[in-house]
Structure 1
Amino acid sequence: MKKKYAINGLFLTQKITGIQRFAYEITKGLDQLSDKNEVVLVVPDEAEIKVQFKNISVVKYGSLKGILWEQVNYPGFLRKNNCLALCMTNVLPLFYRKGIIVIHDVSYKANPHFFTGLRNRISAFWHCVNYHAGLHSKMKILTVSNFSKTEIQKYYKIEAERIHVVYPAWQHMSNVHPSATLYERYPQLKEKNYYFSMASLAPNKNIKWIMQAAKQHPDQLFVIAGGGKFNEKKPSNTLFLGYISDEDAKTLMANCKAFIFPTYYEGFGMPPLEAAACGAPQIIVSDTPCMREVYGEYASYVNPYNPENWIVEECKNENLNELLEKYSWKATAEVIKRVMEETGQNGIAL
């Protein structure tokens, strides 16, 4: 490796969702694969970082926060220390485009109708500008599925050979202990008496499908976890838990009738994989190209636009262990490490 890499560590200051999970697990993997001083992780001065790594040092730099830190302080560190960027959460510094960027999906470009309201439209505009800048620079591009690779090619006219696919995985759930108190806190829940879904309440996650399914099956209980607000009237047989811990998630996944993920659009869609790893007997996902790629023959499929044809039945997906064998954080970190080593002095592929 000709130059030191500096990871954009802002994800360590954010709530863990799929993107932050990816960045954290890959950082852990690179820590095992790197020598000392090959890679550093840069965070804002005021960040409270509790994790420690063996070979990757955590460096505090810059007093700004959020997007301003990413666009001013982080590239300032890169220039000062002559480093290459490793940005694993969709965003890169616009005026320092040397290194590697991971783009998880291009929903902002593909689905502008999902982003309503001034704040969401500003966010969509910002991400589209950022994607365009990164994708039309000479940075190495990584993404999390062949579907997402195809979407990047479609919307940004990028050559296929510039894009590497690096799948997320599930092994982080192996280190999580089930909650000992969840059923005490939610006495209406009992093992195997509920369907479970975990996702943000963003429009692409299609929580409305679950609401409609709940109305059609009033004798069934539907439990939803994830950040965000659902402002519409909820059927009485639904339970919204909000953002939950990994321990609660593992317990709910292990003891549900099935895990439901009726998403409209994903780059990968990690929660059903986590559910399979935790012992969910069945994973029910939307019949979309991305879900077909990721889950293949190991999932049950539903029409994300019409829950009326979904029949409640207790069944078990066969050979979920075979599904789990397809995905590994270690293998993905090894691919990313090879990409890093192939990158030249200026962050350009050799």
Structure 2
Amino acid sequence: MENIVWAVDGSFFGQRISGIQRYSIELLSALDAIVPPGLVEVVTPPGVRAPVYENIKAVTFGTRKGVAWQQRDYPAYLKQRGARGLATCNVIPLFGFRGIAVVHDVCYRARPDFYTDFRGRLSAAWHRLQYRRIARTAEHIITVSQFSKQELTRYYGVEPDRISVVYNAWQQMQRIAPDERIFEKVPLLRRGEYYFSMANLLKNKNFPWVLRAARNKPDAVFAIAGGGSLEAEAKRLGLADLPNVVYLGYVSDGEAKALMHHCKAFLFPTLYEGFGIPPLEAVACGAPRIYVSDTPCMREVYGDCAGYIDLKTNRGYVDDVIPPKQDAAQLLARYSWEKSAKDFLEVLEQQSV
């Protein structure tokens, strides 16, 4: 068998952490415990540091940063090292890449109506270009759900046997200590008596549904965490000044864990996801129930352990959510970074033959 080295694009270590970066960080950490020495390297731009691993080698290479590093220095390293590429964040070099790419979702292609301003259209154009290049040139594709696998086949004609599914997980939440002081800072929040959501202005997150739910249930408190102009957006929607809505702004990881643990339910009325990790994290933090949108992806990931919001008929009524058939905590046994790392390593070994 050829002595393959897989070189990971580690530029995500210098990026703000969202679900995509979290997947990459946790997967590599779990992979390090089981991967043979010499099989995987992490390559980073100057000024970006990777963790210290036992079996994964960390290398700093090149002179550029950001997109320029990804498109120029990273493929130069692959050529110089004679390595295969491993890109885990939806983006590959447009030229000089041979290897495996992780595509988390194809929302930019499936829902162009979400991206209507100049910045959104520009981002959508770049990502659609990336999806096309990955579909054409990657030797293998990994994605995070069967739903996303089907979407890659539907929109880009990728043969199903070129795609493997490696799920997200939740164990990172165990490292966070809950910060109960949030309840002293916000006296309106009483443990066990509020609905909680984490919002932003991305259209797929469906922030307006939470506001309508608050308007329709004035006897309940709705706590909303997230930055940006959520209150301004509420005003634009004609849903400002709802007395039972508490805008928390950005919250720390510890505060989020405490808020998840003590909520009546965690709300996630998303319109489109590749996996949708926040409800899983909420359950890991002790949320007694999660309410998610009734979509194929959410059904796949959360099964009978979630309550479902039928967005075709439910215009903002938490009391009309289809109730879960199983306790939410039963969900946790399905997913672990250890399992995901084993699945990921199996793909690497198959592609190394």
**1:108 matched residue in structure 2:** 108
- Counterpart-to-counterpart distance in 1, 2:170 and 2:270: 19
1:202–1:228: 8 Å Cα contact kept in structure 2? no
Give the counterpart letter for 2:45 in structure 1: P
The answer to whether the Cα contact below 8 Å between 2:224 and 2:245 also exists between their aligned partners in 1 is: yes
What is the Cα deviation at residue 339 of structure 1? Answer: 0.8
Change (3 A) 1:21 1:62: same
Residue in 1 aligned with 2:23? 22
TM-score (norm 1): 0.92
Q: 1:44 matched to which residue of 2?
A: 45
The answer as to 2:244 corresponding to 1:237 is yes
- In structure 1, C-alpha distance between the alignment counterparts of 2:96 and 2:167, rounded to whole Å: 26
Partner in structure 1 of residue 296 of structure 2: 289
Aligned to 1:311: 319
Deviates more, 1:113-122 or 1:242-251: 242-251
Q: Determine helix, strand or coil for the equivalent of 1:307.
A: coil
Q: Is the 8 A contact 1:199 1:271 kept in 2?
A: no
Match of 2:93 in 1: 93
Distance 1:185 1:60, change over 3 A: farther
User: Do structure 1's residue 255 and structure 2's residue 255 form an aligned pair?
Assistant: no
* Partner of residue 81, structure 2: 81
RMSD, matched Cα: 2.0
CA offset at residue 61 of structure 1? 2.0
Match of 2:59 in 1: 59
- Which one of the candidate residues 310, 333, 342 is aligned to 1:325? 333
Q: Which residue of 2 aligns with 1:152?
A: 152
Task: Give how far 1:180 is off.
Answer: 4.2
- In the alignment, which of 296, 301, 306 is matched to residue 308 of structure 2? 301
Q: 1:239 to 1:70 in 2, by over 3 A?
A: farther
Change (3 A) 1:48 1:181: farther
Instruction: Indicate the SS of the match to 2:169.
Output: coil
CA positional deviation for 1:21: 1.0
List alignment gaps of at least 5 residues for structure 2: none
Single out whichever of 125-134 and 137-146 deviates more from structure 2.
Answer: 137-146
Match in the other structure for 1:173 = 173
Match of 2:12 in 1: 11
Q: CA deviation at 1:316?
A: 7.8
Q: Which has the higher contact order (CA 8 A, sep 6+)?
A: 1
In structure 1, the partner of 2:163 is 163
Give the drift of 1:206: 0.3
Paired residue secondary structure (2:223): strand
1:281, distance to aligned residue in structure 2 (A): 0.7
What does residue 121 of structure 2 align with?
Answer: 121
State, as a whole percentage, how many aligned pairs show the same letter.
45
Contact kept? 1:258, 1:282, Cα under 8 Å: yes
Take 2:250 and 2:36, find their aligned partners in 1: how far apart are those partners? 36
Contact 1:206 1:304 (8 Å CA) reproduced: no
Deviations 1:275-327 (A, max 9, x none): 111111110000111111111111111123533443179x8873333211111
Q: State the match for 2:272 in structure 1.
A: 265
* Deviation string, structure 1 residues 185-213 (Cα, Å, up to 9, x no partner): 33332211211112443110101100111
Check whether the contact 1:100–1:141 (CA below 8 A) recurs between aligned residues: yes
Task: Please list, as runs of the form range in 1=range in 2, the aligned pairs for 1:208-223 lying within 5 A after superposition.
Answer: 208-223=208-223
1:271 deviation in Å? 0.7
1:274 maps to a residue whose letter is E
Matched residue type, 1:139: E
**SS of 1:69 mapped into structure 2:** helix
Structure 1 stretches of at least 4 aligned residues deviating more than 4 Å after TM superposition: none
In structure 2, relative to structure 1, the CA distance for the partners of 1:212 and 1:42 (3 Å cut) is same
Gaps of 5+ in 1: 345-349
> AA paired with 2:192?
K
Q: Is the 8 A contact 2:216 2:317 kept in 1?
A: no
Is residue 147–residue 290 contact of structure 1 (8 Å, CA) maintained in 2?
Answer: yes
Q: Is the 8 A contact 1:194 1:220 kept in 2?
A: yes
Secondary structure in structure 1 of the residue aligned to 2:42: strand
Separation in 1, partners of 2:248, 2:15: 19
User: Size of the alignment, in residue pairs?
Assistant: 343
Judged with a 3 Å threshold, the aligned counterparts in structure 2 of structure 1 residues 228 and 43 are, in CA distance, closer, same or farther, namely farther
CA contact (8 A) 1:281 1:316 kept: no
